[in-house]
């Protein structure tokens, strides 16, 4: 094949604080990474730049406190209520601080905690952290002055009645789950602090023991990616796609954890006609094993190159594309970006992907 393959590169940048000019920092990081000795920018047309949602939210100052959560819960349910929390995820980083805020406002917490949560974490003896989340969550509630009961499902406490105060813990499909509690005072995690973020506290992460970082504000994040695209276009003369990414969308085969605790994989991006599209690809190994099985070497490569160059613009449903991945580009790219940057101390919150859309 006469081309360079896909290349994904993690880029470093300064530690981001609230109020930093993130557009300038991202542009400088990208241009520094692709600048050659002759002062040319070695970047392909339709390259993709990803910015992790964490530094976007930090630059926006998109934080909330435990007291902010507690005050919102009191506004919704009144003070000293009994609150049922249905199927929260089991995470010290994602849910524990939210639970602290809910418990601070409540008299009693009833936790509905099945053996395995929505993303594959187990209640007891977590395989990677060894945390027993039923004990850990009970301790948080008691520290905040709320009594606590824990059940696997609602059956021990009887049927749903209209006097129940309910918070739906679902990360995805929460509006559908909400319908199961019609007549109750029921809210989802997306309803908590919804004035701060369109996803409420969904997609939030622990900042410290009294504060969480919310998911980025979509409108501001969209303005950011458009500004970065404009500056990179002016500097390089190339059309470069920009996206803000959160969790990738993949499942760990050992721990059984589905790595998708954010409400969406990409809260903001340029070029929706690209990011919301799906791959239109031929299965090369099928071509080599079937249609061109009589060819070898350069002749085989040329035949496959020609097949790709002349393929139909819409292969949906075609046997030629069988076995290719029917996923949105934004989810595929977010997964690649998330794996490249990691979530620990790699210090590469910007990802540059070249030759993906060649």
Last-in-domain residue among 213, 228, 245: 213
| pLDDT at 62 (0 to 100) | 94
172 and 254 in a single domain? The answer is no
133 and 163 in a single domain? The answer is yes
Last-in-domain residue among 156, 191, 213: 213
How buried is 286 (Cβ within 10 angstroms: 0-12 exposed, 13-18 middle, 19+ buried)?
middle
345 and 204 in a single domain? The answer is no
- Residue 1, domain member (yes or no): no
Q: Cα–Cα distance between 83 and 13 in angstroms, integer?
A: 43
115 and 165 in a single domain? The answer is yes
**Percentage with pLDDT > 70 across the chain:** 92
14 and 122 in a single domain? The answer is no
State mean pLDDT over 165-194. 92
82 and 171 in a single domain? The answer is yes
Last-in-domain residue among 213, 228, 244: 213
Asked whether the predicted pLDDT for residue 76 surpasses 90, the reply is yes
CB contact at 8 A, 209 and 229 = no
Tens digit of each residue's pLDDT (9 = 90 or more) over 291-338: 778 878 888 787 777 777 777 666 555 545 454 567 899 999 999 999
Backbone φ/ψ region at 234: left (φ over 0), alpha (ψ -120 to 50), beta: alpha
CB contact at 8 A, 107 and 191 = no
State in Å, rounded, how far the first CA of the chain is from the last one: 13
Residue 167: φ, ψ to 5°: -120, 120
Please give the mean pLDDT across all residues of the chain: 89
When pLDDT is cut at 50, 70 and 90, the band that residue 129 belongs to is confident
DSSP single-letter state for residue 291? I
State mean pLDDT over 97-120. 96
Supply the range of the domain harboring residue 315: 284-321
- Residue 94, domain member (yes or no): yes
Per-position b or e across 4-13, b if 16+ CB within 10 A of its CB? eeeebebbeb
Identify the CATH number of the domain in which residue 85 sits.
Answer: 3.40.50
204 and 71 in a single domain? The answer is yes
Domain count within the chain = 3
84 and 206 in a single domain? The answer is yes
56 and 68 in a single domain? The answer is no
Per-position b or e across 186-215, b if 16+ CB within 10 A of its CB? bbbbbbbbbebbebbbbbbbbbeeeebbbb
Strands 350-354 and 48-52, sheet pairing: antiparallel
Q: Cα–Cα distance between 215 and 266 in angstroms, integer?
A: 11
Which is more confidently placed, 147 or 292?
147
State mean pLDDT over 19-39. 93
| pLDDT at 314 (0 to 100) | 60
CA 316, 321, 325, 329 torsion: positive or negative? negative
Identify the CATH number of the domain in which residue 273 sits.
Answer: 3.30.1330.100
Global confidence as pTM: 0.87
When pLDDT is cut at 50, 70 and 90, the band that residue 125 belongs to is confident
Torsion of CA 340, 341, 342, 347, to 10 degrees: 140
- For 86, the token pair is 């249905």
- For 301, the token pair is 């490569």
| pLDDT at 321 (0 to 100) | 47
When pLDDT is cut at 50, 70 and 90, the band that residue 155 belongs to is low
Tens digit of each residue's pLDDT (9 = 90 or more) over 227-270: 999 999 999 999 999 999 998 888 777 777 777 889 999 999 99
238 and 105 in a single domain? The answer is no
Tens digit of each residue's pLDDT (9 = 90 or more) over 264-291: 999 999 999 999 988 767 777 777 777 7
The rounded Cα 197 to chain-centroid distance in angstroms is: 15
When pLDDT is cut at 50, 70 and 90, the band that residue 352 belongs to is very high
Q: Cα–Cα distance between 243 and 222 in angstroms, integer?
A: 9
- Residue 2, domain member (yes or no): no
Nearest to 18 by CA among 56, 64, 69, 68: 56
67 and 201 in a single domain? The answer is yes
| pLDDT at 102 (0 to 100) | 98
70 and 196 in a single domain? The answer is yes
């Amino acid at each position: 094949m006469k081309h360079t393959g896909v290349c994904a590169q993690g880029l470093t940048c300064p530690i981001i604080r609230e109020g930093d000019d993130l557009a300038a920092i991202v542009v400088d990081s990208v241009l520094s990474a692709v600048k050659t000795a002759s002062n040319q920018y070695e970047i392909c047309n339709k390259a993709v730049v990803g910015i992790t949602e964490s530094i976007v939210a930090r630059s926006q100052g998109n934080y909330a406190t435990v007291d902010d959560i507690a005050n919102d819960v009191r506004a919704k349910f009144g003070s000293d209520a009994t609150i049922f929390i249905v199927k929260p995820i089991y995470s010290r980083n994602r849910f524990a601080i939210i639970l602290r805020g809910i418990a601070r406002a409540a008299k009693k917490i009833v936790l509905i905690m099945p053996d395995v949560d929505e993303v594959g974490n187990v209640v007891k003896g977590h395989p990677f952290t060894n945390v027993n989340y039923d004990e850990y969550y009970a301790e948080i509630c008691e520290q905040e002055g709320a009594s606590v009961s824990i059940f696997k499902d609602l059956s021990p406490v009887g049927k749903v009645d209209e006097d129940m105060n309910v918070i739906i813990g679902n990360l995805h499909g929460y509006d559908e789950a909400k319908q199961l509690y019609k007549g109750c005072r029921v809210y989802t995690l997306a309803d908590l602090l919804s004035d701060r973020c369109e996803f409420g506290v969904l997609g939030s992460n622990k900042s410290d023991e009294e504060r969480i970082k919310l998911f980025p504000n979509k409108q501001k994040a969209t303005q950011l990616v458009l500004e970065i695209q404009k500056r990179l276009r002016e500097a390089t003369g190339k059309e470069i796609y920009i996206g803000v990414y959160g969790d990738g969308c993949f499942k760990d085969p050992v721990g059984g954890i589905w790595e998708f605790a954010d409400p969406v994989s990409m809260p903001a991006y340029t070029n929706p006609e690209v990011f919301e599209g799906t791959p239109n690809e031929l299965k090369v190994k099928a071509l080599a094993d079937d249609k061109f099985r009589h060819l070898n070497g350069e002749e085989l490569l040329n035949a496959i190159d020609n097949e790709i160059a002349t393929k139909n613009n819409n292969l949906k449903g075609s046997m030629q594309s069988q076995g290719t991945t029917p996923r949105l580009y934004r989810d595929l790219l977010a997964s690649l970006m998330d794996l490249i940057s990691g979530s620990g101390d790699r210090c590469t919150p910007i990802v540059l992907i070249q030759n993906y859309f060649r």
